[in-house]
Structure 1
Amino acid sequence: MSSTAAAFFDVDETLVRVKSMFHFLEFYLRRRGEPEGTFARLTADLRAAAAAGTPRQVVNRAYYRLYAGESAERLAAAGEAWFERAVEDDLFVPETVTAAERHRAAGDALVLVSGSFFACLDPIAAQLRADWTVGTRPVVRGGRLTGEVVVPVIGAVKGRVASAVAGVRGVDLARCAAYGDHSSDIPLLAAVGRPVAVGDDPVLTAHAELAGWQRLVPAEPVRAAV
């Protein structure tokens, strides 16, 4: 990646309309032949924890424990199938995809930064021709997920990702852009010279207005998806 600038994009509800981790999990359980109600049962505690204000990093780790023992190869194949189905259901947010295309045309490197994982991110990155994708990396041993992750790519970690890209790939953060839809994306947006707050998250919107950040409000709000 020889560009001197990059455009960093959060993924869920920024580039795509859904929370990919949950959307994929529901698809995967159905594909695996699990009984009706399995998805709701497995995610009930995660949703309750999120509603109670449990830090996103903690919820993120708990989510990946649901995959303990699962084959990484099988998950990757399911991710491709999930993506094909999701694209048919209007997966992408047109305004941010257009922004990504504009950055690519200008010669900026595209970097996806997400708490999601390879099953979801790899097909999305391929479709958008991302130069680099940094997601939460599950620990894999003997081809199977252990249920643990290296580091949840959430909150302050996203800001550190931007700094790492700048150091390793030689991009100038002052010339870089970043797009995110949630207050947890503030560290990523604050790391660059051209931050863009996507959507109408109240905390992020208030911060963006005080900081004078650009805003991008899609014509159609992202759906309240699983």
Structure 2
Amino acid sequence: MTPSERPRRLNLQQRSVLAGEAAAASAEVETALSTPSDTAAAAFFDVDNTIMQGASIFHLARGLHRRQFFTTREIASAAWKQAYFRVVGVEDPEHVAEARSSALSFIAGHTTTELEELTEEIFDEAMAHRIWPGTRALAQLHLDEGQRVWLVTAAPIEIAAVIARRLGLTGAMGTVAEHVDGVYTGRLVGDLLHGPAKAEAIKALAAREGLDLALCSAYSDSSNDLPMLELVGDPCAINPDARLRAHARAQGWRVRDYRTGRKAARAGLTAAAVAGAVSGAVAAGLGVRAARRPNDA
């Protein structure tokens, strides 16, 4: 690492830690509602393509688009740009960081209450029927054993909290948007809860709740979540991408695939490049709206 690279990398790590700590803190209200009999073990579930088919941020974006939060042209333009970078493999890390940092800027000026109410509506419209029954059953097994179950996702905490509440889970940790007096500023607290940030969130929550990570379980579809999966004693790959499937088999981890054979094969070839691009692009597209005047079409 050169001297010029060190400050930037350190800054990225600091943002991951901040995002993880903010996500863990946001789970406090939910955990207060549960009374687990097993206080040492817990389970952590990714959301997109793990507990829900597709990307939750995409479903939220589509619902907000129907409510005229932004235009079709804005979201399509951002989607194409992100998909191109991912498919051809020349994605600029700084460009990605900028896109991620603007992922929630579309809600600037809106209240937390407004977004929570809309998310409840959009969950019923577009998300409830997309929950994977197999993954839901795994989460219920942990609950039945007296363990707490948290969602851990890069999606906004508002989405994650609704999903967790509707499924009867303990709580959720997700990307936290800054807000002052109940009004969103359009900035993130730290960074997206993605990759290493998820592991930081789990470590912060485990320290606060007295969890033994060696007794905990984690579930994800993506190799991006290896930091989270490798943190616990019982990792499981759900609907895995090709890299995660290979890693899980090499490590002797459990693997569960609830997709059809055709969907699983297609996902193994293209999900990381295209499906991930679409969900990331939606987030970038949402940020475009914040740069416009409120009455722009």
Q: Identify the match of residue 213 of structure 1 among 230, 253, 257.
A: 253
Tell me whether 1:65 sits opposite 2:101 in the alignment: no
Q: Identify the match of residue 21 of structure 1 among 52, 57, 63.
A: 57
Unmatched tracts of structure 1, length 5 or more = none
TM-aligned CA deviation for residue 38 of structure 1: 4.1
Contact 2:161/2:171 (8 A) holds in 1: no
Q: Identify the match of residue 111 of structure 1 among 129, 134, 150.
A: 150
| Distance in structure 2 (CA, Å) of the matches to 1:70 and 1:32 | 14
| Distance in structure 1 (CA, Å) of the matches to 2:164 and 2:202 | 17
Given residue 155 of structure 2, which amino acid in structure 1 is its aligned partner?
S
| Distance in structure 1 (CA, Å) of the matches to 2:43 and 2:243 | 22
Contact 1:50/1:59 (8 A) holds in 2: no
1:1-226 counterparts in 2 under 5 A?
2=36, 3-32=39-68, 34-51=70-87, 52-54=90-92, 59-87=99-127, 90-151=129-190, 152-220=192-260, 221=263
Given residue 39 of structure 1, which amino acid in structure 2 is its aligned partner?
I
| Distance in structure 2 (CA, Å) of the matches to 1:201 and 1:58 | 25
TM-aligned CA deviation for residue 122 of structure 1: 2.0
User: CA 1:84/1:207 → structure 2, altered by over 3 Å: closer, same or farther?
Assistant: same
Given residue 125 of structure 1, which amino acid in structure 2 is its aligned partner?
A
Residue deviations 1:185-210 (CA, integer Å, cap 9, x gap): 11111000000011130111121122
> Could you say what the CA RMSD is over the residues aligned between the two structures, in angstroms?
2.4
Given residue 52 of structure 2, which amino acid in structure 1 is its aligned partner?
V
What's the TM-score, normalizing by structure 1? 0.88
| Distance in structure 2 (CA, Å) of the matches to 1:41 and 1:193 | 42
TM-aligned CA deviation for residue 58 of structure 1: 5.0
Richer in helix (by share): 2
Which of 38-47 and 171-180 deviates more? Answer: 38-47
Given residue 107 of structure 2, which amino acid in structure 1 is its aligned partner?
Y
State which structure, 1 or 2, has the greater radius of gyration over its C-alpha atoms.
2
| Distance in structure 2 (CA, Å) of the matches to 1:21 and 1:50 | 18
Given residue 136 of structure 1, which amino acid in structure 2 is its aligned partner?
T
| Larger RCO (CA within 8 A; separation ≥ 6) | 2
Aligned length: 225
Which of 198-207 and 63-72 deviates more? Answer: 63-72
User: CA 1:57/1:202 → structure 2, altered by over 3 Å: closer, same or farther?
Assistant: farther
| Distance in structure 1 (CA, Å) of the matches to 2:159 and 2:122 | 8
Contact 1:13/1:19 (8 A) holds in 2: yes
TM-aligned CA deviation for residue 140 of structure 1: 1.0
TM-aligned CA deviation for residue 132 of structure 1: 2.7
| Distance in structure 2 (CA, Å) of the matches to 1:49 and 1:69 | 31
| Distance in structure 2 (CA, Å) of the matches to 1:122 and 1:116 | 10
2:107 partner SS: coil
Contact 1:78/1:119 (8 A) holds in 2: no
Unmatched tracts of structure 2, length 5 or more = 1-34, 268-274, 280-297
Which of 193-202 and 115-124 deviates more? Answer: 115-124
**Identical columns (%):** 29
Given residue 91 of structure 1, which amino acid in structure 2 is its aligned partner?
R
